[in-house]
Amino acid sequence: MNERNPDIPGWLSPAAAVAGALAEGEPVLALESTVIAHGLPRPRNLEVALELEERTRLVGCTPATIAVIGGKPTVGLDRAQLAAIATGGVAKLSTRELPLARARRIDGATTVAATARLAAECGIRVFATGGIGGVHRGLPPDVSADLLELRESALVVTCAGAKSILDLPATRELLESLGVLVLGWRTDRFPAFYTSDSGIGVDARVESAEEVAEIWRAHRELERPGAILLCVPIPEEHSLDPALVEGAIEGAMRTALSRGVTGKALTPFLLNALADSTSGATLEANVALLRNNVDVGARVAVKIAESDGR
């Protein structure tokens, strides 16, 4: 049991502002830390992390960036902790590595899967990220733990679909097999991260944060397990040419193969390679979609908190 909030497990270390907001039924938005440590270059990563937290506050929502600090799963980093994660050299932690990080008292950035798990354990209802992991292209088969965690953790995950470097049809199919409800924010199409339309459908289109809150409420009333995936297309003015993106991905994949880059090192490698080959265009698109996802996620968190309070 947590002294600040008896509903939060004692092994979690929430910031006072986060614990207080949750205890009062106020909106909280979870944010991941892997994008800070491994997804964006320094010093841009810390600037973006601070900006995303401020955008969350402007909507009337408490930000909770999540990471592991000294072995403690920490929900709501302070500025010094954000800066430490942004400095680099910290571990990349999915759910399976959380016990190792705790036992060895290390610092680590949490992936979508680990962030979702820790946020849900705290009772946070909404988590905003860039793009989820999924089924990687090619062989041998490589499936992100993000997808499996979406089946387990009860919250709304706001994202720009799955990362373009993945096999999107296979990822979408697996989401369906896992029973994850996929909503499109003002779209009928599953977004493709850097572009707004993968050509693949979603389960249902939603037009407002109020509508998402209603679906979430029904999800919980029916005691459905797992998450709802809310897919928000990248703003049109920041969407990249699909042919440009696909060409850059194919080149990056060939380079990764030639260098033997695999496992959890693959995604950061590919994202960096894409930024280099597109003269930073994919980096700017990534930042734009992060801002957009956080704006939508914070509004959804506010509406869910209002609905829970009725």
Distances (CA, A) of 256 to 169, 229, 261, 266, 301: 22, 29, 5, 7, 38
> Which is the catalytic residue, given 32, 53, 97, 149?
32
Asked if 85 and 109 count as a contact pair (C-beta separation under 8 A), the reply is: yes
**Residue 163 annotated as catalytic:** yes
Asked if 146 and 112 count as a contact pair (C-beta separation under 8 A), the reply is: yes
The CA-based dihedral angle spanning residues 160, 225, 306, 211, taken in that order and rounded to the nearest 10 degrees: 50
Cα(273)–Cα(49) distance, rounded to whole angstroms?
Answer: 22
Place of tokens 């946020």: 119
Cα(276)–Cα(269) distance, rounded to whole angstroms?
Answer: 11
Q: Locate 18 and state its tokens.
A: 């986060």
Cα(299)–Cα(310) distance, rounded to whole angstroms?
Answer: 17
**Residue 264 annotated as catalytic:** no
Cα(60)–Cα(188) distance, rounded to whole angstroms?
Answer: 29
* Closest listed residue to residue 194, CA positions, set 134, 243, 257, 228: 243
Strands 62-69 and 108-110: antiparallel
Total length of the chain: 310
> Which is the catalytic residue, given 92, 149, 163, 264?
163
Catalytic residues: 32, 163
